[in-house]
Structures are given as C-alpha cells and as structure tokens.
Amino acid sequence: MAYGNPDFELYRLPEEHRLLREAVRQLAEDKIAPRAAEIDETGEFPHDVHTALAKAGFNAVHIPEDYGGAGADSLATVIVIEEVARACAASSLIPAVNKLGTMPLLLCASEDLKKQVLPPVAAGEAMFSYALSEREAGSDAAAMRTRAERTEGGWLLNGTKCWITNAGVSTYYTVMAVTDPGAGARGISAFVVHKDDPGFSVGAKERKLGIKGSPTCEIYFEDCEIPADRIIGDPGTGFRTALRTLDHTRLTIGAQALGIAQAAIDASTAYVKQRRQFGQPIGDFQGVQFMLADMAMRTEASRQLVYAAAAKAERGEPDLTWVSAAAKVMASDTAMAVTTDAVQLFGGYGYTKDFPVERMMRDAKITQIYEGTNQINRMVMARNLLK
C-alpha cells in the first residue's frame, strides 16, 4: 500500500459490523430500554429480554455455526454486548455470561461435549454460567477448595462457589474444582454441571448495588455426581483454561462498560440541552461543556482499545493477555468516571431514581470488580510487561 493513497477503511468497522450494531440497537431501544428501570427496581431476571435476544439470535452470537450458532467473531460479540448494555447493563450479562460460560468448552472441550451442550445455548433454550470464585478464593482463585473425585462412572463434586452470575436461571455451569490437592494450580480441572444433576443446588440471591436483574448466587455441590464425559479437557488443565478464558471474556466486560458510559453520555447531553439556569441551557456553560467533552473523549478512547483487543483475540495474537486486561481496566474506570460525572451534571435530579444516571453509576461499579478486579488486572499487565 502506497503511503500517498491510504486505505481509510483500516479505521472503520466493516459493513457487516455496522449493520449488526444497527440491528442490536434497534432491538435494544424497542424491547430492552423501556424495561431497564423496572428490571432494576424489581431485581427480577428479564425472561422477556432473553426471549427477544434469542429470537433475534443475539443471546449467544459467539457460538460457531457447527453448533447452531451465528459464528460471530470477537468484535461482533463485543458490539452486541455494548449495545445491549447501553439500554440495560443487567440484560447485557445474557450474551456476556453465555460467552464466559462456554468459552472454556470452545477452547478445550471434546467435540462430543460441545455438541451436547452448545446447541441448546445457541438456540436460546439454555444459558451457561461460570463458577471459579469462592469466598476465600476470589483474586487468589488457585486457593479454591471445591473438590472433584473420580468415581466408577464419572466425578463426584463437593464444595461451594460464590458470586455466580445468572445462577438459578442458567442450565449449565462451567465449574473449576481441585482434582489433585497436592499439585496447586496444576491440580485444578474444569467440568460442566447441569442444573438437574443430583447434589447441585443454588443459594439465595445476593442483595447488590447494581445489575440487579442478573441474579448472583452461591452454588453448592453435595456429592454432586456427573458423568465422566463432562470434564473439559484433560485433568489438571482447568486453571490454565480459566486464565485463557478470561483473556477472551474480559473484553466483554470492557464492552459492557462502554455501553453504560455511552448511555450516560447520551442522557447527559440531552439533559444539559433542555435544563435551564440563569436564563440559558446549562449546556451553554463552559464548565459543563468541558465535562461532556472529557466524558466522550475517554469513552471513545476506551472503545478503540476494546475493539482493537477484540481483533487481537480473533487473530490469536500473543499479547492478548495484556491488551485484554488493559481494555477491561480502561473501559471500566472510564464508565465509573463518566457515570459519576453524569450524576453531577443532573444535579439533585441525578441522585433520584426519576432519571437513569444513578442506575448507570451503580451498574458501572461492578465492571471494575468482576472478571478480575482492576488492581489484579494491573498486576497482570505489569507482569506481562516485565517478562
């Protein structure tokens, strides 16, 4: 390519991705946004939203065509989650957690296991959750105590997992458990548990600050027996699979954060145009304009990093761990700052539930915490730089 004749399409989404954004945005504005405040208020999982997403094929777009899915690439998946989060952060966890739960299978599972559990998720007949954390093994996930022991017919699980997103509404759960207690992280394996497996149960919902329409619960394994073919990959590879999964799915949290931040910018821009003080719209004041400019600038910079990271994930580039962590941290820190500024721009009204920005601020906070706190992700980035 000659430098005098640049291909400007390098910095523009392909047409199919732009059309996808339009389609998801239309569905989100029609079916999801009108429900967002009610979902937050009641704390009930939005089954109607799941149905609408599944009908349009947006509930698990990342699942390959071989298993009944759309086979969407990483960038397309990010766009879907971003646009749903722009309407309702809790609802965006439907496509996001379906990817989180199924990514270990796509990376490491046998073909038979993939064919067994992925088609129902692609069809919208089932959802998938991911179970790694425990009360005493959050950031230090390798310290987990949940055990899996071999039996004649398969595996017997005992233990407790916590902070499990969409627990109770999901059909399948990817579960990390210790199979070799003396081997540390190399003694952890990954399994698929079905909600109807004997010995599996779900605890009460956590009472949360935000994303209230997405249930978060503990899950319990009491002599929970699963068949031998439900192990993901070889024994002892589970922790490595978990880390590889997060390299791909931290991007989805970055996308969720982008959607929340963009929604706050949209609401704030509309508000400062119509809210009048001292005889003029408050958007005419330079202090307000500077706030809006910074909000939009940081969000767009975060978007470019998330999209670039998604492209790297699709290409399987070696620096995916670093860039995925960076995208998640930058986007989530941005979402928290932007939504806090949005509440400030709305003044006293922003502190009430009559306007959506207080919900957005509450929802934004979790993006700095789950799939690795931003402090842990900064450690990940630094260690990759110092290798």
The residues carrying an active-site annotation are 371
Rg (CA), the chain: 21
CB atoms within 10 A of CB 263: 27
Tokens of 189: 């394996």
Report the C-alpha gap between 204 and 219 in whole angstroms.
Answer: 9
Helices (H), 34-164: 36-42, 47-56, 74-87, 89-108, 111-122
3-state secondary structure of 273: helix
Q: Which residues contact 18 (CB under 8 A, 6 or more apart)?
A: none
Return the DSSP state at 367. T
Sign of the CA dihedral 118, 123, 126, 131? Answer: positive
Residue (of 226, 263, 280, 274) closest to 342 by Cα position = 263
Task: Report DSSP letters for 102-125, one per residue.
Answer: HHHHHHH--HHHHHHHHHHHHTTS
3-state secondary structure of 142: helix
Report the C-alpha gap between 300 and 302 in whole angstroms.
Answer: 5
Report the C-alpha gap between 106 and 77 in whole angstroms.
Answer: 15
CB 232 within 8 A of CB 105: yes
CB atoms within 10 A of CB 98: 31
Report the C-alpha gap between 164 and 142 in whole angstroms.
Answer: 17
Tell me the residue type at 248.
H
Tokens of 88: 């309702």
3-state secondary structure of 170: coil
Tell me the residue type at 274.
Q
CB atoms within 10 A of CB 2: 6
